Amino acid sequence: MPDNPRNSPVSLLPRPGEVTADGSEGLALDAATRISADQAAGPTLTWLRRELGAATGLPLSIGHEQDARIRLSVDPTAGLGEEGYRLIVDTEGAIVVGHDPAGVFYGAQTLRQLLPADAYRDAPVGEASDRWKLPSVRVTDAPRFRWRGVMLDIARHFQPKREILRFIDLLALHKLNVLHLHLSDDQGWRVEIRRYPKLTEKGSWRTESQVGMTKPPVFDGRPHGGFLTQDDIREIVAYAAERHVMVVPEIDVPGHSQAAIHAYPELGEVGEIPVGTRWGIFDEVLAVTDHVLDFYKNVFDELIELFPSPYVHVGGDECPKTQWKNSESAQQRIREEGLADEDELQSWFIRRLGDHLTERGRRLLGWDEILEGGLAPGATVLSWRGEEGGIAAARAGHDVVMAPTATSYLDYKQSESPDEPVPVGTLLRVEDVYAGDPVPSDLTEKEAEHVLGAQVNLWTEHIDTPRRLDYMVFPRLSAFAEKVWSTHERDYAEFEPRLVHHLGRLDAAGVEYRPMDGPRPWHSRPGVQGWG
């Protein structure tokens, strides 16, 4: 990379593997510029024409390979590696070659970053500009990890389809490729299941929500709810696939299930309960009867029809065992199955669902608590309680996705300032996200092969608007994106100027990110009344 990325025409994020820029004149885009693509790169051509056409006001017509100035192609023999690409720009044109369609798409994303930041803003209708120039550059690039993900919790506070689509675009901008949707929890059920309509009729709304983390708790007195229809899900999945983002569904069991139990009280141990309004961990859990297992197998069958992802997340976290200790049906199940205790009972429950998913060609994914009591072969562990779960799983031969709270929880506070909104958890600054390595140092080289990658998690107890979501996610997500993409040794001093440059792109895209110099008192922001 150039010595001064802040002023360089090739200030890219995430940092590519190899970049050569000689400073010579590059390619100017104008009304005569044509784009071509082979069949495999066709979807990226459609995306690039749409995005750049809207920003530049140029027609960017489709041409033949011999007369096109921008050419896209897939070549698995080019030695680029999975999701890898090569981008070459000179006065004659711009060429993007990808190992696969994803590689072409990521090369096109890099091409877009070479343009002024306004390439991320729609131009006024009828306006075209002569300032759209690509610098002369050669880029060869491929990702470090194949799992580069974000978990978005839409159970605590619902995000409608339009916001999820916008979020997918922002993931794709950063070359991230997994959106893990947390679809159910104590406080709401967010996906239509046609066999069980009460899940959304009754379980998708709560009477009010806790505000902040005060004791005793304070509530807002406002109903909150919503859910995604199956048609919504199909649109989201298709939109994500066009941007090479895999959408992984999560239905959390056997804890965090108050909304489901409210809809169908026979699922629980104590009969009727309300949809949760407080944040935290609660004793209400699913019963471990055949009826409950059949119910959730049917739920997952519908999800499998909607989500082509090979992974299905079953939660498995924060499941208190109090009700099972006092439940005759749970204790009978322990005796019948020859289980040692309630921890093994949870493992038994998860294994039954894992077997069901395996029969249908899918892989079970769960939080690291699924290790307790033994883990089914083929299950993948998402390690959140530090690195320990990921280390134990990798050593046992299980694939792992790392998301330890210390470097991965984007709902955590970003400074110690009294102006920081809802200062939850421990301090997690941009530089903290950037510094943490996804591969635990305790793993051997062979064990580390089980680390598929990493993800950050965005829990939304205190994030109830898109504006709050932007503030908590960015620019920390930009730091994470480089960590999971780039193979370079990381140096925050080198990264920060490129991040500052990148903020111009986020500005143009309308992202209301947290300023680098920290939060400001709300009364100093013109037109802002609180944080709504």
The pair of three-digit structure tokens given for residue 458, joined into one six-digit string: 């965005």
Nearest-10 Cα torsion for 505, 507, 511, 515: 110
- Asked whether 325 and 367 are in contact (CB, 8 A), the reply is no
Q: How far apart are CA 357 and CA 59, in angstroms?
A: 47
Which residues are catalytic, by number? 185, 256, 318
**Which residue bears the tokens 């903020």?**
503
| 3-state SS record for 192-260 | CCCCCCHHHHCCCEECCCEECCCCCCEECCCCEECCECHHHHHHHHHHHHHCCCEEEEEEEECCCCHHH
User: Could you give phi then psi for residue 517, rounded to 5 degrees?
Assistant: -90, 10
- Asked whether 250 and 315 are in contact (CB, 8 A), the reply is yes
- 148 Cβ neighbours under 8 A, 6+ residues apart: 175, 176, 177, 178, 453, 454, 455, 481, 484, 485
- Tell whether the torsion through CA atoms of 319, 451, 498 and 104 is positive or negative: negative
The pair of three-digit structure tokens given for residue 475, joined into one six-digit string: 């620019």
- Asked whether 302 and 195 are in contact (CB, 8 A), the reply is yes
Q: How far apart are CA 420 and CA 457, in angstroms?
A: 19
Q: How far apart are CA 218 and CA 223, in angstroms?
A: 14
- Asked whether 131 and 118 are in contact (CB, 8 A), the reply is no
Helices (H), 360-475: 388-395, 405-408, 430-435, 445-448, 466-473
C-alpha closest to that of 156 among 264, 259, 284, 272: 259
- Asked whether 217 and 175 are in contact (CB, 8 A), the reply is no
Q: How far apart are CA 118 and CA 136, in angstroms?
A: 19
- Asked whether 57 and 252 are in contact (CB, 8 A), the reply is no
> One-letter amino acid identity for 128?
A
Q: Is 472 helix (H, G, I), strand (E, B) or coil?
A: helix
C-alpha closest to that of 144 among 412, 431, 388, 485: 485
Q: How many residues does the chain have?
A: 532
